[in-house]
Structure 1
């Protein structure tokens, strides 16, 4: 008979494993809520990310595919009709920010998923198996780390048109997994010598079970934080490429806005164009700030010492 320990620390022979898992999940999310409420800045971070996600999901549905232009309101100052002013074509800047959020967020999410998935899989397998597999996978990782990302993207842009955010995220993700693979491998080499891993190997459990059920849960907090950080890196990378004019302007996003503001709108020399330049910069800053505040909360959520303090 399996004896389950309930949250009060009392053995409950009638409790099922499924019920215990549900209780643990509830207790975990209650702890997350307590950590978030402890500092108003963390709640602000959640609110910022929620606003951007809402913009990415609902924003393009609120505006037509081709935003209206007003030739009589070029570089109009902020007002009730145009809270962030207009651009050099008379298009509402707020509408550009809202409709451009989806591309930026989808690219960042796709990049983070690919970076974390590939890097974690390679790092876990190499660190656990060691030997020839470790040597081979780490040499591949070294090659990935040695690839100059920007020059390669410049070359790829001449032969491959990045027509969507998922394609952009795929390329950025395949170029950026090396760092997390190295870090996860180091963590795996440390954990594989622990007693519970030795016990699992002694029981003859398969490698996939040990990696997926024993090693991976212990590294989940580290992986989750790296995923959020990867989103930030992807946002900077794609915005920088669009700003440099490397990628085709086939869809509106914040990088395109920066490029047009500087090179077409004369935002660096025309004071009236300054809101058009500052709007995407502030959007990037706020998105990064929201991610940083959530990472700060995650550090306390998954760090028992910080929770005790």
Structure 2
């Protein structure tokens, strides 16, 4: 329905059927990734951080060991990034703190993209009163100052875990995606395959879910990764400013303690404690950027090199 011609791998062609479509898709993904080694590096970085978030707190004990005789120890084979003000290995802090940061980013991205996509699709497809009402709601959400609201909420809500943090950040960040999805929906709804679906008497739900949504899947997938990056910056910034309680280890807490507790900006001894979480954030962001670059070519045939 979404294509006027039969493409290779579709039913009726050699290697057709769903299995053939999937094989051709993953072969194309492999070709795009191999075309630039940096893209493979981006995938490897994301896989590394995912494994770090999943298994890091399992590998290390719940209470990390301390060495009172090695406060702010310099980097060494035993401690690649040195130790902190309590003699705790900084690398262990980075690894165990990854779960909070990454899980918050994923929860934020899912809520942001799900809400923004749903509202944008409904508004763009139905237009009229639905469009006006949902876009006014979106405009209202976009006018809410996120940081001041988070500062107020932090006085009454402890944000005990990444799920609570992700929920709040997600509810504050869906407006931009909703408007972008609405614009794309307004363009797609006038295409021939949508008109054909209406002519066949297909339900609105079928048209939106089976016709419009797959056409915007590449854009939505890239926005998931971009939303993860924004959520990481937001939460790390809040912990760095000290407006959230330090009840769990994460990279923002490390930055706060390094700067305001350890004097990392004026003391070289505490500098590795500051640079380790910054390097983790930079590396994770780089991985996301490289994967988004690959996704752009995977889903946009015009960018593919023959």
TM-score, with normalisation over the residues of structure 2? 0.96
Note the 1:72-111 alignment, pairs <5 A.
Answer: 72-111=69-108
Q: 1:9 to 1:173 in 2, by over 3 A?
A: closer
* Cα distance in 2 between the residues matched to 1:117 and 1:10: 31
* Cα distance in 1 between the residues matched to 2:209 and 2:82: 51
Q: 1:8 to 1:301 in 2, by over 3 A?
A: closer
Of 279, 286, 296, 2:293 maps to: 296
Q: Deviations over 1:93-137 (max 9, x none)?
A: 000000000000100000000000000000000000000000000
Q: 1:214 to 1:6 in 2, by over 3 A?
A: closer
1:125 counterpart residue number:
122
* Cα distance in 2 between the residues matched to 1:301 and 1:11: 24
* Cα distance in 1 between the residues matched to 2:163 and 2:26: 31
Q: Deviation at 1:269? A: 1.1
Q: Deviation at 1:26? A: 1.0
Q: In 2, are the aligned partners of 1:83 and 1:94 still within 8 Å (CA)?
A: yes
2:3 counterpart residue number:
none
Q: In 2, are the aligned partners of 1:84 and 1:275 still within 8 Å (CA)?
A: yes
Q: Deviation at 1:161? A: 1.1
Q: Which runs of 5+ in 2 are unaligned?
A: 1-5
Q: In 2, are the aligned partners of 1:6 and 1:20 still within 8 Å (CA)?
A: no
Q: In 2, are the aligned partners of 1:118 and 1:177 still within 8 Å (CA)?
A: yes
Q: In 1, are the aligned partners of 2:10 and 2:20 still within 8 Å (CA)?
A: no
* Cα distance in 2 between the residues matched to 1:135 and 1:283: 43
Q: In 2, are the aligned partners of 1:104 and 1:254 still within 8 Å (CA)?
A: yes
Of 266, 269, 272, 1:272 maps to: 269
Q: Deviation at 1:307? A: 1.3
* Cα distance in 1 between the residues matched to 2:148 and 2:226: 23
Of 236, 240, 253, 1:239 maps to: 236
**CA root-mean-square deviation:** 1.7
2:62 counterpart residue number:
65
Of 17, 20, 24, 2:17 maps to: 20
TM-score, with normalisation over the residues of structure 1? 0.95
* Cα distance in 2 between the residues matched to 1:64 and 1:8: 50
* Cα distance in 2 between the residues matched to 1:144 and 1:31: 39
SS at match of 1:36: helix
Note the 1:133-282 alignment, pairs <5 A.
Answer: 133-282=130-279
Q: Deviation at 1:308? A: 3.9
Q: In 2, are the aligned partners of 1:73 and 1:86 still within 8 Å (CA)?
A: yes
Q: Deviation at 1:6? A: 8.6
Number of residue pairs matched by the alignment: 302
* Cα distance in 2 between the residues matched to 1:240 and 1:119: 24
Q: Which runs of 5+ in 1 are unaligned?
A: none
SS at match of 1:64: coil
* Cα distance in 1 between the residues matched to 2:84 and 2:93: 9
Q: Deviation at 1:7? A: 3.9
Q: 1:269 to 1:117 in 2, by over 3 A?
A: same
* Cα distance in 2 between the residues matched to 1:231 and 1:12: 39
* Cα distance in 1 between the residues matched to 2:35 and 2:85: 45
